[in-house]
Amino acid sequence: MPIRAVVYVSDAAPGMTPDAAVAMIRNAADFNMQAGVTGILLHDGARFFQYIEGPEDGLAAVYGRILNATSHINIVELGRARTGARHFPYGSMQLLPATAEEVDTLIAGTWDASATQGFAEGNAAPSGLDALCRFVLRHLPDSAPGHRP
């Protein structure tokens, strides 16, 4: 079964509190697990940056829910593609705090279909996925065995 991925950035809705964010994440994690979707969610206090992956039907259900959520606004899809395998198989919703600069760096990355195939060895300009994987490995070193560099 092919794995598909979507990456997007959005602004947190006005009034989004840390407690509301935690509740939203718990609810989303349960839904994602049922849909077979895994991924990473970064939050810099003002924006969300998310990379999600899974089977086409599950990803469509999760992303549709994301697009209709009231927890964020100004959703900008950065890319979507078919991937060779999961890059973040270890959680249905992994939340990591990030700085605004880190999110800016990820947004500026290349998120076209070729960038989601994996690390671009020797590439002078890393893809967005390369940068995200490096970010995750720095913040979740125990997750390295589940990652496919």
The domain limits of the chain are 3-141
- For residue 18, count other CB atoms closer than 10 A to its CB: 9
Q: What is the pLDDT of residue 22?
A: 83
**CA dist list (Å): 58 to 9, 37, 111, 138:** 20, 6, 21, 28
pLDDT in tens, 1-18: 789 999 999 999 998 887
- pLDDT > 50? residue 120: no
Round to whole Å and give the CA distance between 75 and 9: 6
**pTM of the predicted protein model:** 0.86
Q: What is the pLDDT of residue 145?
A: 39
The residue with tokens 């020797």 is 122
Q: Does domain 3-141 have CATH number 3.30.70.100?
A: yes
Q: Which two tokens stand for residue 126?
A: 């890393």
